[in-house]
Structure 1
Amino acid sequence: MTEYTMTFRRYIKYTIFMLSFFVLGYGVTSYKSIFLGLTFGTLFSLYNLWSMYSKIERLGQAITTKQKVKTMGSLSRLLMGGLAVLIAMRYPHLFNLLSVVIGLMTIYIIMLIDSLSQTIRISKEKR
């Protein structure tokens, strides 16, 4: 298993943990639209992570076989985020729009925190 695959799986685990926290918040608190928005946005974020992972895998395979790569799929991920926001705007009684946007950013926040923690861990090991 490559380091990239292990990192991807670690991101999936963290995201599923966050999703379970959001679902628990939906079930326990009275802030239903906020936690439903966070859950909805995070699900779209999880899809975007999977999409990015699969595109990078294809890029790696294309490089090893010396083929051309058409695109990394940034537009499709952007459109998925736009779709999530449009759905949230269409059903404001179900989803809090700001929560959906924060949920869309969840994977990027997880990536940032994980990268910082890995950097700190590696620098401590070098000492």
Structure 2
Amino acid sequence: MPELQSMFKRQRTYIMFLLVLYVLGAGFTPYYTIFMGLILGTGFSLFNLWSLVRKNRKFSEAVAANEKAKSLGTLTRIAIGALAAVVALRYPEHFHVVSMVIGLMTAYVVIIIDFFIQNLRREKKER
């Protein structure tokens, strides 16, 4: 379980770094709506990642205690994605819908990249 927390901490740091870049892009480029869509999607993506880690921890604790385990919150994550879409569609002058969808996928891309980086580090240590 500590490994899951360290992975989340690393991935959260990467996502926060991306959010800072997006804020700078929204502030200093003419692509305000695109970067705001990325900020909206990535913010909700970070919330979904946090929720998944929290539910995974509770799920693991329930399994270890031989209790009935609740779900991992798939419906919640889908609802959060739908909420982000509603916000982007309601305010198209502030949020670009396609970049919001790309932002929603940010956590998954970060997880994949982090996985490959950690595997490369492990292979390097084994040599």
1:70 positional shift: 2.1
1:11 aligns with: 11
Separation (CA, whole Å) in 2 of partners of 1:70 and 1:111: 24
Aligned length: 127
2:115 aligns with: 115
Separation (CA, whole Å) in 2 of partners of 1:120 and 1:12: 20
Q: TM-score, normalised by structure 1?
A: 0.96
- The answer to whether residue 84 in structure 2 is matched with residue 73 in structure 1 is no
Q: Runs of 5+ in structure 2 lacking a partner?
A: none
- CA-to-aligned-CA distance 1:2-46 (integer Å, 9 cap, x gap): 111111111111111000000010110010000000000011001
Separation (CA, whole Å) in 1 of partners of 2:70 and 2:9: 26
Amino acid at match of 1:12: R
1:121 positional shift: 1.3
- What is the root-mean-square deviation of aligned Cα atoms in Å? 1.0
1:28 aligns with: 28
Separation (CA, whole Å) in 2 of partners of 1:4 and 1:92: 37
Separation (CA, whole Å) in 2 of partners of 1:42 and 1:75: 19
2:126 aligns with: 126
Q: TM-score, normalised by structure 2?
A: 0.96
Q: Runs of 5+ in structure 1 lacking a partner?
A: none
- The answer to whether residue 40 in structure 2 is matched with residue 40 in structure 1 is yes
1:100 positional shift: 0.2
- CA-to-aligned-CA distance 1:32-87 (integer Å, 9 cap, x gap): 00000000001100110110011001011101211011211011101111110121
Separation (CA, whole Å) in 1 of partners of 2:61 and 2:118: 26
